[in-house]
């Protein structure tokens, strides 16, 4: 297997980009076509006559919930990644951290299916909780993607930029040195 074949295979499990999508009155939103291709590859039961599925992890909404369990976005996992996470959780010792993970990945998650037109339905309670009215922002995060209310994401992004500017070295370059990967 050549380098490009390995990279191509790995990239099929990698989400990239940001997409602002309309949400209709029934909560239907189109999953970006680029994301659907990754979801298909990440769904072991997907076939050309079966629609891809994925898992939305939305976390607890109680105000006293610690930050990792209370989210400002919905995190979306391919079926294969979700299965890996569940398997890893099952292998852990029975400690409070494991209980919290079980709750996050079971109680505060939902399996969804992409329909014939490439859309999913976001339930009313999640649309209300995350402030999704007529638009949803799909944001790639490598092996997962997130669904945000556009204004909430902009505020998060601004705060993150400020934090990075204070914590990263001034000469930090986020680009991967392509020469180390065999490129020019």
Residue 58 parent element (H or E): strand 53-59
181 inside domain: no
Q: At 43, which CATH number?
A: 3.40.1550.20
CA distances from 23 to 4, 17, 26, 119 (A): 37, 19, 8, 10
The DSSP bridge pattern shows strands 70-78 and 28-30 to be unpaired
176 inside domain: no
Confidence of residue 162 (pLDDT cuts 50, 70, 90): confident
What's the average model confidence in pLDDT over 21-46? 97
5 inside domain: no
Cα atoms in the Cβ-side hemisphere of radius 13 Å centred on 37: 9
Looking at the structure of the chain, the number of domains it has is 1
CB atoms closer than 10 angstroms to residue 40: 18
Strand partners, 136: 21
97 inside domain: yes
Does the pLDDT of residue 28 top 70, yes or no?
Answer: yes
8 inside domain: no
Q: What does the pLDDT look like over 41-53, one tens digit per residue?
A: 999 999 999 999 9
Q: What is the DSSP letter of 146?
A: E
Which pTM value belongs to this model?
0.82
Q: What is the mean pLDDT of the chain?
A: 86
Domain that holds residue 142: 13-168
6 inside domain: no
């Amino acid at each position: 297997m050549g380098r490009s074949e390995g990279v191509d295979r790995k990239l099929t499990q990698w989400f990239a980009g940001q997409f602002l999508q309309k949400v209709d009155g029934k909560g239907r939103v189109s999953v970006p076509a680029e994301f659907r291709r990754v979801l298909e590859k990440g769904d072991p039961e997907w076939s050309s006559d079966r629609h891809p599925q994925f898992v939305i992890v939305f976390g607890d909404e109680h105000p006293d919930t610690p930050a990792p369990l209370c989210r400002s976005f919905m995190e979306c996992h391919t079926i294969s990644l979700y299965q890996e996470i569940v398997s890893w959780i099952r292998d852990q010792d029975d400690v409070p951290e494991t209980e919290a993970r079980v709750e996050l990945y079971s109680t505060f998650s939902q399996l969804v299916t992409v329909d014939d037109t490439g859309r999913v339905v976001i339930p009313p309670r999640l649309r209300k909780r995350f402030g999704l009215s007529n638009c949803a922002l799909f944001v790639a995060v490598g092996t997962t993607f997130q669904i945000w209310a556009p204004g909430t994401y902009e505020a998060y992004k601004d705060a993150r930029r400020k934090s990075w500017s204070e914590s990263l070295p001034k000469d930090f370059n986020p680009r991967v040195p392509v020469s180390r990967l065999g490129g020019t």
